[in-house]
Amino acid sequence: MNKNARKAIIAGNWKMNKTRPEAKALLEAIKPLVANAEGNVEVIACVPFTNLETAITVTENSNIKIGAENVHFEKSGAYTGEISADMLTELGVAYVVIGHSERRQYFGETDETVNKRTVAALSAGLKPIVCVGELKWERECNITEEVIARQIKLDLWGISKEDVKNVVIAYEPVWAIGTGLTATPEQAEEVCAFIRAELAKLYDAETAEAVTIQYGGSMNAGNAAELLAKPNIDGGLIGGASLKAEDFNIIVQAAVNG
Ligand code: 13P
């Protein structure tokens, strides 16, 4: 297994934060700090829909790629309030977060809709960041692996071996999100390795080795290096700490130096 063969992806998930001027200022601050990240380290900011165009303009000619935080699965039609994959690619969006636990928890997302969104994103040329993770109660009941295996199987249902290489998987234990409770590097590695083993079962070992698997959940400037040093943790999906240029950069540099 060769971790260096995979892309390390450090992605900020801004969630419902930042007006356009605030987004511009934050990206202007991040841009020079992360300019040295190249080659196998990809830096992404996933921003609210209203900030996408601004973010794309501000990061033009930089190494920062822009992602959306959700996408609808239909191409167009009577879906008030929704945004299609084609609308995102036309803007220049490269990535999209799909199936975040906040979407699952508060907006009724299911593995079926996560799967449909992932298929739609891929067919429009977007790279999906598919989020999976267990609830606190599920971990306590010792069914973390069952939960993750089910999510991986359903969320990636019908996606080909070629296409899955463009999917990023983010392991985000729900109990670690926004709580300051990080999974230990050992806990995070255990599940990320399990995800890779499931991918090998669903596809094959070579395909599983090519997929970038991120950890997310209270990743910050203090704990990133230790998490990113693990063999199956290829990057991070970062909430709170991605809203502070200095902190986000420390995480990016941990990936650069890892
Ligand atoms: P925090 O980093 O704020 O815990 O959020 C993690 C997350 O949900 C990223 O998608």
Mean pLDDT, to the nearest integer, of 143-167?
Answer: 98
pLDDT in tens, 40-87: 899 999 999 999 999 999 999 999 999 999 999 999 999 999 999 999
Q: Which of 42, 69, 100, 134 is catalytic?
A: 100
CA-CA distance, 54 to 108, in Å (whole number)? 29
Concatenate the DSSP letters of all residues of 60-72 into one string: TTSSEEEEES---
Angle between the 144-155 and 111-123 helix axes, to the nearest 10 degrees? Answer: 40
Round to whole Å and give the CA distance between 48 and 88.
12
Q: How far apart are the first and last CA of the chain?
A: 16
Q: Is the pLDDT of residue 95 over 80?
A: yes
Average pLDDT of the chain? 97
**Separation of 192 CA from ligand 1 center, angstroms?**
17
Q: Tokens for 84?
A: 């299609």
Q: How confident is the model at residue 3 (pLDDT cuts 50, 70, 90)?
A: confident
CA distance 3 to 212: 9
1 pLDDT tier (thresholds 50, 70, 90): low
Q: Which tens digit of pLDDT belongs to each residue from 20-32?
A: 999 999 999 999 9
Judge if the beta carbon of residue 240 lies within 6 A of ligand 1.
Answer: yes
pLDDT (0 to 100) of residue 4:
79
- Annotation says 72 is catalytic: no
Is the C-beta atom of 129 inside 6 A of ligand 1?
no
- Alpha helices (H) in the chain, listed in sequence order: 20-33, 52-58, 85-91, 101-106, 111-123, 136-140, 144-155, 161-164, 185-202, 205-210, 224-228, 245-257
pLDDT digits (tens, 9 = 90+) for 176-208: 998 888 899 999 999 999 999 999 999 999 999
CB 55 within 8 A of CB 20: no
With the C-alpha atoms ordered 88, 242, 180, 178, is the resulting torsion angle positive or negative? negative
How confident is the model at residue 258, as a pLDDT? Answer: 83
With the most atoms of ligand 1 within 8 angstroms of its CB, the residue from 16, 168, 218, 223 to mutate is 218
Domains of the chain plus CATH, in order, are: 9-257 (3.20.20.70)
CA 232 to chain CA mean position, Å: 15
Whether pLDDT at 243 is above 90: yes
> Of the candidates 144, 116, 117, which has an alpha carbon nearest to the alpha carbon of residue 132?
144
The closest-lying atom of ligand 1 relative to the alpha carbon of residue 218 is 4
